[in-house]
Amino acid sequence: MVTPAMADPVRLATWNPGLSRQGPGLLLRDIAAREGQVVAAARIIAHLRPDAILLTGFDWDLEGRALIAFGDLLAEMGHPMPHRFAARPNSGMATDRDMDGNGRLGEARDAQGYGDFTGQSGMAILSRWPIGPVSDYTALLWRSMDGNRMPDGPNGDIQRLSTTAHWDAVIKTPDRPLHLLAMSATPPAFEDRNIARNHDELAFWLNRLPNAPFAVIGNLNVDLSDGDGDPSALLRMLDVTQDPQPRGAFQPPQTGPNAGHSGDAALDTAEYDRDPGNLRLDYILPAKGLTVTGAGVFWPAPDDPLAGAAGLASHRKPVWIELELE
């Protein structure tokens, strides 16, 4: 009797590689020029070799030229990801309203999601396999979400829920379709409403989990143990998903702003040398019943050959997991 060969696991990743700039077109310029930070980010992704990756903090442009150029750079480095998706995010989308109530118009905090120009710090998916269909919930009004915590205010008629975007993107793996429930939430800081918005951005998915293999993925911007956010939506999500608890190989000394932390430092994905210190903010939470065969946070030790590239690219660290979908 011949035993069937096992399918290769699917490697998913998410990362904020810091590929956002201070004006439209500047990211494309830097990719074309092979600017050092761009090359460092691409080196790390090529090293991790994900089958599909959600990038947060990646500038969107109307024709997708920056995403195409970055995909071409990855191919040059030996890791082609020919299938790509991005759509206009709420970040930087002008409202012509005083959304933060400071008496001034046209500022970054007056956009639907924080940003100085349309598409700043957006999201993008790159994949070895076809992507689609994609259900895009980015335009949903915050007050339209069931059970929302939106504070009372004058702009509820136009305020969208997503700081960046909410996508249910299907990756057509060789075994079966996998839904990526992708998002990048607001940090629960800077404005009083941001704690409520951060909570609701994740809670949104609780009523839209597909009856199919899925993984909630992205920058949830909330730590279960430390920081200023409200983790209650994350705790509810963990009731219906599994947490592979990806761990980094290296953690800085737990001193300074990290000294009072109660969470496991090996799970941290964001490095801050000021309050609130290092936090776990980036997650991949697969559905219960899926088999996780590996997981990690790419936080290299100082003597690692890629430590310099990691430090140059971003203060955030890539998260990856491997799933069996056969």
CATH number, domain at 309?
Answer: 3.60.10.10
Q: What is the pLDDT along the chain (326 residues), one digit of tens a residue?
A: 544 445 789 999 999 999 999 999 999 999 999 999 999 999 999 999 999 999 999 999 999 999 999 999 999 999 999 999 999 999 999 999 999 889 999 999 999 999 999 999 999 999 999 999 999 999 999 999 999 999 998 999 999 999 999 999 999 999 999 999 999 999 998 888 999 999 999 999 999 999 999 999 999 999 999 888 999 999 999 999 999 999 998 877 778 888 888 889 999 999 998 888 899 999 999 999 999 999 999 999 999 999 999 999 999 999 999 999 97
CA–CA distance, 267 with 218 (Å, rounded to integer): 15
| Count of domains for the chain | 1
Residue 3 lies in a domain: no
Residue 4 lies in a domain: no
CB < 8 Å & 24+ apart, contacts of 80-84: 80/128, 81/50, 81/52, 81/53, 81/126, 81/127, 81/128, 82/128, 83/126, 83/127, 83/128, 83/129, 83/130, 83/131, 84/124, 84/125, 84/126, 84/127, 84/131
Residue 2 lies in a domain: no
Structural domain boundaries enclosing 68: 10-324
Q: The pTM is what? A: 0.95
CA proximity to 215, closest of 158, 173, 274, 275: 173
Residue 251 lies in a domain: yes
